[in-house]
Structure 1
Amino acid sequence: MTSPQSAAAWAAPATRDPVHGTVRVPGSKSLTNRYLVLAAVAAGPTTLHRPLVSRDTLLMVGALRQLGVTLDRGDDSTWVLTPPARLRGGGDVDCGLAGTVMRFVPPVAALAEGPVRFDGDAAARTRPVAQLVGALRDLGVVVDAGGDDDPRLPFTVAGSGSVTGGRVVIDASASSQFVSALLLAGARYDRGLTLVHRGEALPSRPHIDMTLQALATVGVVVHEDAQDTWHVEPGPVQGVEVTIEPDLSSAAPFLAVAAATGGRVTVPDWPASTTQAGDAMRELLSRMGAAVTLGPAGLTVTGPPRGELRGLDHDLGDVGELTPVVAALCALASSPSRLRGVAHLRGHETDRLAALETELGRIGADVTQTHDGLVVRPGRLRAATLQTYHDHRMAMAACLLGALVPGTRVVDVATTGKTFPGFAETWAGLVG
């Protein structure tokens, strides 16, 4: 497990009263970065309204600029991206700690003319990319990744200006991003792409559905010929105009604090239909005893009386990114919880299962790892300084705990800027 960072600790605001308010969350990181990648391979300009402006999306913009894409940011409420006539190589891509950059961009870089080198933060060098590197090599792309047995960052994609495409088999059980990465670029390969997943169950399927929906929006035809088999027809990618939905996973801690304190919080512009994993908060909070309503004002969560939140037994395999906040909420519940189906979280920004076991234990909960998740037994919670491991979701979970445990401090709360710039100020405005 990675060593906790030593950044200054933030005094998390706490309250003994129910939390009430309305919180607008920024645009979806997952949607913003998918449409940014598609803009790079499009036949014309792409316009994004309400994109997320955060470290992860700006890293993606930086990567695309290395490939020759130009961006007019205006006032940041609207971005206009224009692809070059031919993607260029010769640059270095900083992936930071963004899984979407380190996995989505290499299949596009294979279309560039010249080598593109990828590297990132120290923690990013531990994240798995072997399946993606292997798939690109199987498609005829030259990738210099050093340790061939288990390639990691840094690596270099030797773009040749085109990729023949065809059929490729991968094991994407470690991350659905391997599937999305190849699907996003597949239409620009000469023969398109037939992608087959063979391995354990795919995690985070809503993210694959999101990718397929984005591809349909830009005119790419994808056939799901059989279970875990996708055929992407070759052809042009349309430049489009898209309004990005709010990031529903970033809304999770705000809704959770309403549920935990017996309060009432509304998130405006919640979509009636979406592929975002964060939409699962509606079901999860209902099962824990909160009242959840979706109406013209947005999504509103009203918590049960403080101390009456129920524990949860649930498979989070499709919505793993919610696990830190949900686990923190389970530590605040009145009965034990079991969270299942999230073994793949051991390969996220940090080993999230180990991190949650450590930090929830530090604040007084009784937490045990299982082979694919966590068992959380509420205990007598006490103030603690919680580490966040450069992980935005861990930081959000820590703030949730701090709202109900006075004296809690959160190390490096600024890491929330990965998906929610200004999170700490927004949180303090609601809870404080």
Structure 2
Amino acid sequence: MQISRYSAPEFDPYGDTRQTDTDDGWLAPVATGPLAAVLSLPGSKSLTNRELVLAALADGPSLLRTPLWSRDSELMVEGLRALGTRFERVAGAGGFGDDLVVTPAEELTGSTTIDCGLAGTVMRFLPPVAALALGPTTFDGDEYARKRPMSGVVEGLRGLGVDLDDDGRGTLPFTVHGTGRVAGGPLEIDASASSQFVSALLLSAARFERGLDLRHRGERVPSAPHIEMTVATLAARGVAVAEPEPGRWVVEPGRIRALDVDIEPDLSNAAPFLIAALVAGGSVTITGWPRTTTQVGAQLADLLPRFGARVELAGDRLTVHAPEPGADGGRGIRGVDLDLSEAGELAPNLVGLAAVAESPSIITGIGHIRHHETDRLAALAAEINGLGGRVTELDDGLRIEPARLHGGPWRAYADHRMATTGAIVGLAVPGVVVDDIGTTSKTLPQFPELWERLRS
């Protein structure tokens, strides 16, 4: 479908000149009746990329079952391969691609360049690994990757005595001059811009000669459950992380055990599909839902009822049922007042849901998502308001008021969460055209196919 000559909002996260013409985009399917969908999802990106790093640093080969195959995970594989790790794809039984055997290098070697794309896990988790390699490793990525915060990793590695050349930018591109060893020891960083700064250092810490005694200074660390995930994956491989006080993590030096791992489905990627039940009516079931997990997406089971949904967990199947219709025949979706400081990655999709709710919403605690794949607060406000919405930016969140939305272009900004949010809005609003649905390949290449399957 061709959309042309529209007036775009002034905001542009990339700082480029706005285009008033678009190429063909993806016309978001509109709900034509209640859903009754049952879906399985690929593995977690957050878990896959943590396990890839740990497997590369382990004391023997590891088997990763049902890993996520996406742009982010494949960039991680290629980055580790460049440092000497060996990978072998083997037939898997999960239905979403091969399993993966990871064999650590006898000695990590640099003298290479690593493409980070727009993957925060790659640009943050791999520099400490490169510091353990022998030789220089240059890191760079997509255009917007150069704007993503990196100070915690850059300052952290320098604080550990690693030679890192960034020409004073504190962002990509930079070169880590690895010597094959990192002394480790006490370190203080400001991780208030990203919990990944903490995870990046913890993942490699057991390989440092003195381990790591890491302290956070500054405001609270966002998305703390992601640090809990890192600690849990380390513990499973025999690396104990002590937390003697809030904002402090202590890792003793030692081996990282080889391990065969089953990767859980990505629960954050389940968000648009579960939200679809509220927007279209009916129900959506996700199979393989874990009873216990460190994934942030598990909070959907508690968050969606606040919008009016009914949620049930039976065995490994989580089902979301639509709210009862409102007295006026509306969808019955309630506005909410949410603090999503621990679950910022769910915010874009939940804001999309709030945009079609019947009462106002305020979603806060998410100022840090201005520094994700794009400035997500500004992008969400721009795109929803461009369709007739009423979204106001706050210091650390958004206010969303009910409005009659209309069709039109929806820009993804090379951000997978923005693309899936456009699909959510388009489920309720005819004529929403997402300019780059392909950007969902970052974490869920099968998204368009699975989204179409909702209605079948």
Residue in 2 aligned with 1:280? 299
Report the number of matched residues.
Answer: 430
Report the Cα distance in structure 2 between the residues aligned to 1:206 and 1:126, rounded to whole angstroms.
24
Question: Match for residue 25 of structure 1?
Answer: 41
Unmatched 5+ stretches in structure 2 = 1-12, 92-96
Q: Distance in 2 between matches of 1:194 and 1:139?
A: 11
Task: Give a deviation string over 1:61-88, Cα, whole Å, max 9, x none.
Answer: 0000011000001234310000011111
Q: 2:63 aligns with which of 47, 50, 56?
A: 47
1:18 deviates by 1.3
Equivalent residue, structure 2, for 1:352: 376
Does 2:66 correspond to 1:35?
no
Contact 1:14/1:431 (CA < 8 Å) preserved in 2?
no
Compute the displacement of 1:401 (Å).
0.5
Contact 1:18/1:261 (8 A) holds in 2? yes
| Alpha-carbon shift at residue 296 of structure 1 (Å) | 2.0
Aligned to 1:215: 234
**1:130, CA displacement in angstroms?**
1.7
Q: Does 1:416 align with 2:437?
A: no
- 1:297 deviates by 5.0
Once superposed, which parts of structure 1, at least 4 consecutive aligned residues long, lie more than 4 Å away? 3-7
Question: What's the TM-score once normalised by structure 2's chain length?
Answer: 0.93
C-alpha spacing 1:193/1:276, structure 2 compared with 1 (3 Å): same
| Residue type at the aligned position of 2:403 | G
1:370 corresponds to: 394
Contact 2:279 2:427 in 1 (8 A): no
1:56 — aligned with what?
72
What TM-score do you get using the length of structure 1 for normalisation?
0.98
Does the 8 Å contact 1:265/1:301 carry over to 2? yes
Q: Distance in 2 between matches of 1:300 and 1:78?
A: 28
What's the CA shift for 1:351? 0.2
Measured in 1, the distance between the counterparts of 2:307 and 2:449 equals 28
Alignment partner, residue 136 of structure 1: 157
Which residue does the alignment assign to 2:85? Answer: 69
What's the counterpart of residue 252 of structure 1? Answer: 271
Matches within 5 A, 1:219-238: 219-238=238-257
**How big is the shift at 1:221?**
1.3
Shift of 1:425: 1.3
Corresponding residue for residue 115 of structure 1: 136
- Match of 1:40, SS state, is helix
Cα deviation 1:302-338 (Å, max 9, x = unaligned): 0113521101101001000001100000001110000
Deviates more, 1:422-431 or 1:38-47: 422-431
Q: Could you tell me how far 1:8 is from its partner in structure 2?
A: 3.5
Contact 2:410 2:433 in 1 (8 A): yes
The match for 1:156 is 175
Give the distance between the partners of 2:407 and 2:414, measured in 1 at CA: 21
| Aligned match of 1:321 | 345
For residues 316 and 232 of structure 2, what CA distance do their matches in structure 1 show? 26
Instruction: Please state whether the residue corresponding to 2:275 is helix, strand or coil.
Output: helix
Aligned letter for 2:176?
V
Q: Distance in 2 between matches of 1:257 and 1:388?
A: 19
2:367 matched to which residue of 1? 343
2:17 aligned with 1:10: no
CA-atom RMSD in angstroms: 1.2
Q: Which shows bigger deviation, 45-54 or 358-367?
A: 358-367
| Pairwise CA distance, 1:259 | 1.4
The 3 A distance-change label for structure 1 pair 7 and 39 is farther
Amino acid at match of 1:120: G
Measured against aligned partners, the alpha-carbon deviations of 1:125-172 in whole angstroms (never above 9, x if no partner) come to 1111122101100100000111x2x41111000000000000110110
Does the C-alpha gap of structure 1 residues 8 and 98 become closer, same or farther in structure 2, counting only changes over 3 Å?
farther
Shift, 1:16, TM fit: 3.2
The one-letter code sitting in structure 2 at the alignment partner of 1:402 is: G
* C-alpha distance in structure 2 between counterparts of 1:127 and 1:59, whole Å: 17
Q: 2:88 & 2:44 partners in 1: Cα distance?
A: 20
Question: Structure 1 residues 338 and 64, CA, compared in 2 at 3 Å: closer, same or farther?
Answer: same
Q: In structure 2, what is the Cα distance between the partners aligned to 1:378 and 1:207?
A: 32
Query: Shift in Å at residue 7 of structure 1?
Result: 5.7
1:337-385: per-residue Cα shift (whole Å, max 9, x none)?
0001000011000000000010111122200011100000020010111
Residue 34 of structure 2 aligns to which amino acid in structure 1?
P
Give unpaired runs (5+ residues) of structure 1. Answer: none
The answer to whether residue 197 in structure 2 is matched with residue 173 in structure 1 is: no
**What's the CA shift string for 1:395-429, capped at 9, x where partnerless?**
00000110111111111001001111121111012
Q: Deviations over 1:172-222 (max 9, x none)?
A: 000000000000000000000000001111100110000000000111011
**Is 1:104 aligned with 2:125?**
yes
- In the other structure, the counterpart of 1:395 is 419
Q: Indicate whether 1:312 and 2:336 are aligned.
A: yes
Q: Does the 8 Å CA contact 1:266/1:297 hold for their aligned counterparts? A: no
Whole-angstrom distance in 1 between the partners of 2:111 and 2:422: 41
Q: Is the 8 A contact 2:83 2:130 kept in 1?
A: yes
What is the CA–CA distance in structure 1 between the aligned matches of 2:299 and 2:152, rounded to whole Å? 28
SS of the aligned residue for 1:168 comes to strand
Partner SS state of residue 194, structure 1: strand
Code of the aligned partner of 1:19: L
Distance in 1, Cα, partners of 2:431 & 2:132: 52
Cα distance in 1 for partners of 2:148, 2:335 equals 32
Matched residues in 2 for 1:15 and 1:210: separation? 36
% identical aligned pairs: 52
Aligned to 1:84: 105
What code does the residue aligned with 1:101 have?
V
